[in-house]
Structure 1
Amino acid sequence: MSSIMTPDNILAALENLESELPSLTGQEAWATIKDDFYALKLRLQDSNDPEERDRLASELVDFLVPYKHVRDRLKEETHLANIQTVLRDTMETDLPVFAAKMDLDNNVVEPSAAVVLKSIVVDSEESEVRRIKIKEGGTEPGKSVKIRNFHLDLLSMTELIATTLITVADPVVAGVLLIIGSLTRIPKAITIDLSEQETSVFWGFVLARDADNSAEESLIAEHTNHERNKNGRLPLTNEGVRDALCKLKKLKSVELVEGKQDTWRIVEKYEIK
């Protein structure tokens, strides 16, 4: 699980999404899954074992993955939850020290954080930078890198500061600047290691693709195994190639071409070293 997709961040995201879940999944679907969902969520909330919490959090995410609208909103809320975690750390450490040095009341902490939190905008999924990094031949495991962006709505921030109580407005401005500095600690890139098999299949796909970055599964398998044979590796079965493609699909690196069950398209930028 990535540093962003932590059990605490996932729980915080789901708390924010809870009222939307029936409409995001569809009322009929929600009626059939809500009991299992709440039971799994409660188990995660009650667990104190780190390994169990990681497992339950993954199960909870997998439980909602089939519902695209939930999946997209969960990503956004999880990134916001991660930003809030960094801000909470700042509030608990840096801001109180800052307030003490400036001989200010600790009440400066909450309005400062509130201004930043309300001004944060997580950019749309389309603005993500996605890239697969592999070596020529696909003989070594590669990496899939996703970089998610966010920005601060400066107009909104200015208005929020202006409406803050005049007695704390100046320290709030300073507190906001301190918090903005803390945002540089937020990990903006998620790196996922690819297995040797997934890397090999992606390399075969690169060789098999047409001008539209698409290729039939049989052609991908043919190129994959040709390259594996050149590098002294055992060939993959058709099932092995399919399994690797499905895993790459989960990472949104490839997708099935609409209306075709055996034709795939590369949707992620890639870098060959």
Structure 2
Amino acid sequence: MDVNQLTTEEVPSSPSQALLKNVQELAIDGEEPPPRYVRKEGDHKEKKEVPAYESLSVPVIDFSRFSPASSSREKEDEMEKLKSALSSWGLFQAIGHGISKSLLDDIYDVSKQFFDLPVEEKERYTRSEEDEIVDLQGYGSDTIVSEDQVLDWSDRLYLLIQPQEQRKLRLWPDPPTHFRRTLNEYSAQARSVAEVVLKAMARSIGLEEDSFMDQLGEELMVYARFNYYPPCSRPDLVYGIKAHSDGGAMTILLQDPEVEGLQVLKDDQWINVPCMPGALLINVADQVE
């Protein structure tokens, strides 16, 4: 399971998308995944998969070094590391970001509590066909955009955070009891992290620190997405989430501390990204890239 905090200006929409049976239900019987979930022969094998012990290291940026308490040398060194990470990877692990471990634990815990609910309880928050035409808010699984697409072996909860007046609070789970409060607190702090990151990115490439913020504007669309990957009897045949690039400006990813599986494509190789306790994986998305 992981948590995405997605900042974007575009509302995803596709009136042709159809709702699917939840993957968690498919996984209960333990049978092989249905054909629509089986990846195509040769797919993902053109790229060399690098075992974790051979993996290149995803850059780690300590944002506490940009604080007034840090020396000029520390700030300069960390800025150079950030510039290198952006040019060579387009993503990095952020530490010293200011979000407490207790809050990271809380957002993970409430998301786990939600996916542990009975199926009929979770389905109270399922997006409807009408919702699909406008956006993807709510609980569900992959959506069909083409007849030959390989479907993700995952369920998800997708919620609009900002603008607040566009939230569909009927799709915000309750229970878990503290889900809404925890998500509000985490989202506010994640947005602060995003602003710090965008300003540091601008400075690292010689721009005014508000350059990216000014381009994105005040009315950012901010989404949170919770992904759940049920056990699969044939994990070698499916994708939790298939290869993709992130739209919008930035993705802040909180990885599952117990299960690793994230990979990124670098220099034509799929690189495993191990979970780093307390870190947030920051991915520069298409709009900024």
Same-fold call, TM cutoff 0.5: no
Choose between structure 1 and 2 for higher RCO, CA contacts under 8 A separated by at least 6 residues: 2
Structure with bigger gyration radius: 1
Higher helix share: 1
Greater percentage in strand:
2
With normalisation by structure 2, the TM-score equals 0.22
